[in-house]
Amino acid sequence: MALHSRTLWNKILVGFVFAHSIAQAMTSAALAQEPAAKGTIKGTVKAQRLIQESSVDGKYELLLSPVGLRIKNFKGGYDLYSAAPDWQIYAVRQEAKEIAHMSMAQFRKFTMPSFRMMGDAAALGKPLKTVQSVDAKGKKTFYQFPGPGEVDTGYSGWIEKSEVLNYELFSRDLAMPAEASAIIYRYYNLPLLSGVPTEMYSVIKEGKNVRRGWLLRTDSNKAELVSDNKVFRPPAKLKDAGLINSQYLTRGISGLADDMSELIDVKRK
């Protein structure tokens, strides 16, 4: 009877050890697949890829993350890179294999070139209204800014008067570091606000009618995993073009804009 009890106990003990080993193996496998410290698979970082469009300067692709960002300007033909820890700004022209640079301190004072000089919103001051809310996508903020009043729009030889009552701007919290937000708002010539700008409108009065004209909109916003050691840093072996300036960023665009302006003037004479 004692022998039978010992045999039964040994079987139970062996079964327990086997089950414990299986549990350990499963736990180790789960840990191996567990995201890294930043909530991602090892060697990658969470990022948001936004396709945005400006009524003035066309489409942009923004790849944003806690460790860096990249902005692709399709019309301008260049990519803007910046990454932690120094957040130095690099503008790369891939076709010309050139790179220009600027420190964060310099970029904060820089005015991005635009077909409408500094852009509609370059002179925005303190918002008249700020409203925060939460939806299915997270936290967002609405800002209302005073408009400049009566303005003239159009090209030479054709001027139309209207009254800009105010500007409306929407931003979304994408958990970006302060440096990344500062670069994005400066890139759009906007005052530094919270989150990332996603939509902007001008509220315009024309006679008795009031309409909203879009200035910035987001066509898509998707989360993805990207490599954090390449994507936010410029390629190597590029020709140094010196400090970032308006001429470098608008190369090849100004002439096209002038040609279009002249063509419109001819048609209206």
Residue 48 belongs to a domain with what CATH number? Answer: 2.50.20
What is the per-residue pLDDT across 197-227, written as a single tens digit (0 to 9) for each? 999 999 999 888 999 999 999 999 999 999 8
Q: Which of 168-172, 183-187, 228-232 has the lowest mean pLDDT?
A: 228-232
What's the half-sphere exposure (Cβ side, CA atoms, 13 Å) at 102?
22
pLDDT at 158: 62
- pLDDT, residue 112, reads 87
pLDDT of residue 122: 56
pLDDT tier, 56 (very low <50, low <70, confident <90, very high otherwise): confident
| DSSP H or E segment with residue 183 | helix 178-187
Strands 209-227 and 89-93: unpaired
Residue 34 lies in a domain: no
Q: pLDDT band for position 104 (50/70/90)?
A: very high
8 A C-beta contact, residue 143 and residue 191: no
User: Please, are residues 64 and 205 in contact by the beta-carbon 8 Å criterion?
Assistant: no
Q: What is the mean pLDDT of residues 243-265?
A: 64
- The candidate with the shortest Cα–Cα distance to 52, out of 67, 41, 62, is 62
Kindly report which listed range (38-42, 44-48, 160-164) carries the lowest average pLDDT score.
38-42
Model pLDDT, residue 260: 41
130's tokens = 């700020």
Q: What does the pLDDT average to over 138-164?
A: 79
> Is 74 a member of any domain?
yes
Q: Which residue has the higher pLDDT, 88 or 254?
A: 88
**What is residue 191's three-state secondary structure?**
coil
**Is residue 14 predicted with pLDDT exceeding 50?**
no
So what's the pLDDT on residue 254? 53
Residue 112 counted as domain residue: yes
- What is the domain count for the chain? 1
Share of the chain above pLDDT 90, in %: 57
Amino acid at 3: L
Residue 33 lies in a domain: no
The answer, yes or no, to whether residue 48 has pLDDT greater than 90, is yes
Determine the average pLDDT of the residues in 72-76: 93
Kindly state whether residue 29 falls inside one of the protein's structural domains.
no
Q: How confident is the model at residue 57 (pLDDT cuts 50, 70, 90)?
A: confident
- What integer is the mean pLDDT of 127-131? 95
Q: Using an 8 Å Cβ cutoff, are 162 and 149 in contact?
A: no
pLDDT in the model for residue 269? 33
Domain that holds residue 163: 44-268
More confident call, 31 vs 26:
26
The pLDDT of residue 125 is 82
Evaluate if residue 129 carries a pLDDT over 90: yes
Question: Which residues lie below 8 Å from residue 74, measured CB to CB, with a gap of 6+?
Answer: 58, 59, 60, 61
> What's the chain's average pLDDT?
79
